[in-house]
């Protein structure tokens, strides 16, 4: 298999095929949500892809898990710096903030959000869009709210009737969302019963069925970058968190493969399961 022997020159050849550089736009709710696709961003970012990360909130409403690194007053600025650190570790070129309220994405009216996101899509012209799945991965209202606004903007950016003043239309070829298959739950002790605590609720992670795993990316070569990026988010490291207590070798095994569902696309046809973001992209080699 080609990606089993992935190396730098081959990567440059693929992601810059026909003089076009692969452009990836990731839109997430909070600083640290990018870690869920971190191995893939690092793999492509360090091999020449042009990546923009958009973070909807500054994460100012989060629990602070470090004693000395932040206060409620400084958390927004600390998390801004943490995401900047993660951006560098992952090889992400551009970072943009929407400054939506943390914990209050649903209060941003959808038409306003779409008018903010559409020019980003139309200007950057991504081949690949990443965001939260419709169920949030775990049902955090901000994740679900961002997903709803991103899918609306994905369609609006391609619609000639929608706000021509916001730039020439762009039909993003692929919109992927993160997926977590059963096998990842098998790898991590206690993951099935793990709950994210949020406002008195306990939120479980979503298990994706095999038919929802459309793209599997081998991140063996970018595991270290993903771990480095994860370490940047010090204010969010729950010492009892699932990943904090994982033995290093298990953490590496979990991080070395990432899975995605092709949630929506502007391609001539649906794609069979594939192992690279370029697969099926017109103009890109996917041998
Ligand atoms: Zn989040």
DSSP track, 129-188: EEE--TT-SS--HHHHHHHHHHHHHHHHHT-TTS-GGG-S----SEEEEEE-BHHHHHHS
Q: Give the structural domain span for 48.
A: 20-265
Instruction: Measure 56 CA to ligand 1 centroid, in angstroms.
Output: 10
Query: Is residue 26 a part of any domain in this protein?
Result: yes
With beta carbons less than 8 A apart as the criterion, state whether 64 and 75 touch. Answer: yes
Instruction: Measure 44 CA to ligand 1 centroid, in angstroms.
Output: 22
Query: Is residue 29 a part of any domain in this protein?
Result: yes
Instruction: Measure 72 CA to ligand 1 centroid, in angstroms.
Output: 18
* pLDDT on residue 42: 98
Instruction: Measure 18 CA to ligand 1 centroid, in angstroms.
Output: 36
Instruction: Measure 30 CA to ligand 1 centroid, in angstroms.
Output: 5
Instruction: Measure 103 CA to ligand 1 centroid, in angstroms.
Output: 10
Instruction: Measure 47 CA to ligand 1 centroid, in angstroms.
Output: 27
What span, in angstroms and rounded, lies between the C-alpha atoms of 131 and 110? 16
Q: What is the CATH number of the domain that holds 233?
A: 3.40.50.10320
Task: Give the mean pLDDT per block of 10 residues along the chain (287 residues).
Answer: 33 53 98 97 96 97 88 95 98 98 98 98 98 96 98 98 98 98 90 88 94 97 96 88 82 94 96 96 75
The residues, ordered by sequence, that sit 6+ positions from 213 with a Cβ below 8 Å of its Cβ are 179, 181, 259, 260, 261, 273
Domain count across the chain: 1
Instruction: Measure 84 CA to ligand 1 centroid, in angstroms.
Output: 16
Nearest to 104 by CA among 60, 71, 72: 60
Greatest Cα-to-Cα distance within the chain, rounded to the nearest angstrom: 53
Query: Is residue 6 a part of any domain in this protein?
Result: no
Query: Is residue 215 a part of any domain in this protein?
Result: yes
DSSP track, 14-61: HHTGGG---EEEEEESSTTGGGGGHHHHHHHHTTT-EEEEEES---TT
Instruction: Measure 166 CA to ligand 1 centroid, in angstroms.
Output: 28
Instruction: Measure 10 CA to ligand 1 centroid, in angstroms.
Output: 34
Instruction: Measure 33 CA to ligand 1 centroid, in angstroms.
Output: 5
* pLDDT on residue 286: 59
- The two beta strands, 128-131 and 23-28, are parallel
Query: Is residue 8 a part of any domain in this protein?
Result: no
CA 154 to chain centre: 15
Query: Is residue 285 a part of any domain in this protein?
Result: no
Instruction: Measure 16 CA to ligand 1 centroid, in angstroms.
Output: 31
Query: Is residue 278 a part of any domain in this protein?
Result: no
Query: Is residue 7 a part of any domain in this protein?
Result: no
Burial profile 31-49: b = 16 or more Cβ within 10 angstroms, e = fewer:
bbbbbbbbbbbbbbbbbbb
Backbone angles phi, psi at 52, to 5 degrees: -115, 135
* pLDDT on residue 9: 39
* pLDDT on residue 58: 97
CA 49 to chain centre: 15
Instruction: Measure 156 CA to ligand 1 centroid, in angstroms.
Output: 24
What span, in angstroms and rounded, lies between the C-alpha atoms of 287 and 276? 10
């Amino acid at each position: 298999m080609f990606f089993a022997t992935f190396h730098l020159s081959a990567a440059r050849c693929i992601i810059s095929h026909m003089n076009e550089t692969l452009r990836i736009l990731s839109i997430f709710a909070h600083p640290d949500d990018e870690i869920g696709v971190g191995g893939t961003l690092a793999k492509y970012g360090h091999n020449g892809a042009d990546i923009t990360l958009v973070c909807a909130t500054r994460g100012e409403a989060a629990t602070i898990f470090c004693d000395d690194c932040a206060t409620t007053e400084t958390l927004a600025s600390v998390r801004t710096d943490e995401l900047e650190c993660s951006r560098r570790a992952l090889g992400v070129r551009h970072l943009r903030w929407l400054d939506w309220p943390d914990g209050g994405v649903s209060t941003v009216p959808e038409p306003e959000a779409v008018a903010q996101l559409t020019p980003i899509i139309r200007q950057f012209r991504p081949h690949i869009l990443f965001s939260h799945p419709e169920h949030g991965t775990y049902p955090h209202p901000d994740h679900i709210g961002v997903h709803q606004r991103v899918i609306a903007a994905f369609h609006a950016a391609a619609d000639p009737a929608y706000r021509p003043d916001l730039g020439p239309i762009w039909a993003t070829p692929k919109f992927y969302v993160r997926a977590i298959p059963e096998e990842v739950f098998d790898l991590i002790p206690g993951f099935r019963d793990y709950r994210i605590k949020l406002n008195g609720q306990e939120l479980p992670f979503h298990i994706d069925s095999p038919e929802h795993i459309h793209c599997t990316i081998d991140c063996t070569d970018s595991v270290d970058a993903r771990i480095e990026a994860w370490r940047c988010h010090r204010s969010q490291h729950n010492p009892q968190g699932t990943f904090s207590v994982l033995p290093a070798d298990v953490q590496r095994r979990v991080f070395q493969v990432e899975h995605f569902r092709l949630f929506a696309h502007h391609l001539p046809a649906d794609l069979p399961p594939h192992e690279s973001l370029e697969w099926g992209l017109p103009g890109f080699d996917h041998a």
